[in-house]
Amino acid sequence: MSDKKNILVLCTGNSCRSQLLHGYLQQELGDRASVYSAGVEVHGLNPRAVRVMAEDGVDISHHSSNHVDEYAAVPFDYVLTVCDHANEVCPVFPSTARKQHHNFSDPAKATGSEEDIMNQFRTVRDQVKAYARDFVQAQFLTT
């Protein structure tokens, strides 16, 4: 299927924000795209990110935290950066990838009680979900 798109979601550590967007894009697009996520560093999959996605019915527990260099050979159609740091240090991709950037606050930096921290994760999750829907509508549902 030659019209299947390759999408890379890029973040600093590939532990939270990029994983959330990866999960929602995969859910929204199914077989229409191959979704990858990576970081300019590798911090491991954040267990709270897994938990807030499970609350919304999306299982990302099988995801891994990957370094962007692992996907150097993939011809991406879209590179979506989800934090300013990743946008600033985003490597140049030798393809016609369309770059889009949206800075989401990092829920891993939330402080306070466990409930406060989880609420911050939920807030960012909901922002990422809305962004994913907007992206899919703009890039895949228009002619």
Q: What is the mean pLDDT of residues 26-47?
A: 95
Q: What is the mean pLDDT of residues 8-16?
A: 94
**Considering the domain boundaries, does residue 143 fall inside one?**
no
| Helix (H), strand (E), coil (C) string for 52-93 | HHHHCCCCCCCCCCCEHHHHCCCCCCEEEECCHHHHHHCCCC
Indicate which CATH number applies to the domain containing 34.
3.40.50.2300
Task: Write out the H or E segment, with its range, that includes residue 9.
Answer: strand 5-11
Q: What is the mean pLDDT of residues 30-48?
A: 95
Domain count across the chain = 1
Which pTM was predicted? 0.93
**Considering the domain boundaries, does residue 38 fall inside one?**
yes
**Considering the domain boundaries, does residue 59 fall inside one?**
yes
Q: How many beta carbons lie within 10 A of that of residue 37, not counting itself?
A: 29
Q: What is the mean pLDDT of residues 83-93?
A: 77
**Considering the domain boundaries, does residue 32 fall inside one?**
yes
Contact 45, 16 (CB under 8 A): no
Which range marks the domain in which residue 40 is found?
5-138
Provide the percentage of residues in the chain whose pLDDT is more than 70.
93
pLDDT tens digits for range 49-67: 999 999 999 999 999 999 9
Catalytic residues: 11, 83, 90
**Considering the domain boundaries, does residue 122 fall inside one?**
yes
